[in-house]
């Protein structure tokens, strides 16, 4: 039994793309080092931004 990816609703959004690129830039500049799969880092940050009400979008579709 596999667990569903918890951040799936964010994957095809502009928010995901922006966060993913920002993390990629930081990694490329050696400002940060990824210790987890990128998709979990991006997903967690998207979720945190969405839940903080800083990002207003409908991801429930």
pLDDT tens string 15-24: 999 999 999 9
The whole-number pLDDT of residue 55 equals 75
Indicate whether 1 belongs to any domain.
Answer: no
If one counts every other C-beta atom within 10 angstroms of the C-beta of residue 11, the result is 15
- Per-residue pLDDT, averaged over 5-18, amounts to 95
What is the overall mean pLDDT for the chain?
A: 90
Indicate whether 59 belongs to any domain.
Answer: no
Indicate whether 18 belongs to any domain.
Answer: yes
Indicate whether 61 belongs to any domain.
Answer: no
- pTM here? 0.85
Indicate whether 56 belongs to any domain.
Answer: no
* Structural domain span for residue 39: 8-51
Q: Is 42 exposed, middle or buried (0-12, 13-18, 19+ CB in 10 A)?
A: buried
H helices present in the chain, as ranges: 14-28, 38-51
Whether pLDDT at 2 is above 70 = no
Number of domains present in the structure of the chain: 1
The whole-number pLDDT of residue 29 equals 98
Indicate whether 40 belongs to any domain.
Answer: yes
């Amino acid at each position: 039994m596999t667990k569903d990816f918890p951040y799936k609703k964010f994957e095809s959004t502009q928010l995901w793309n922006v966060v993913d690129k920002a993390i990629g830039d930081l990694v490329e500049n050696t400002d940060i080092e990824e210790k987890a799969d990128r998709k979990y880092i991006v997903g967690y940050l998207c979720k945190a931004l969405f839940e903080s009400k800083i990002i207003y979008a409908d991801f429930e579709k």
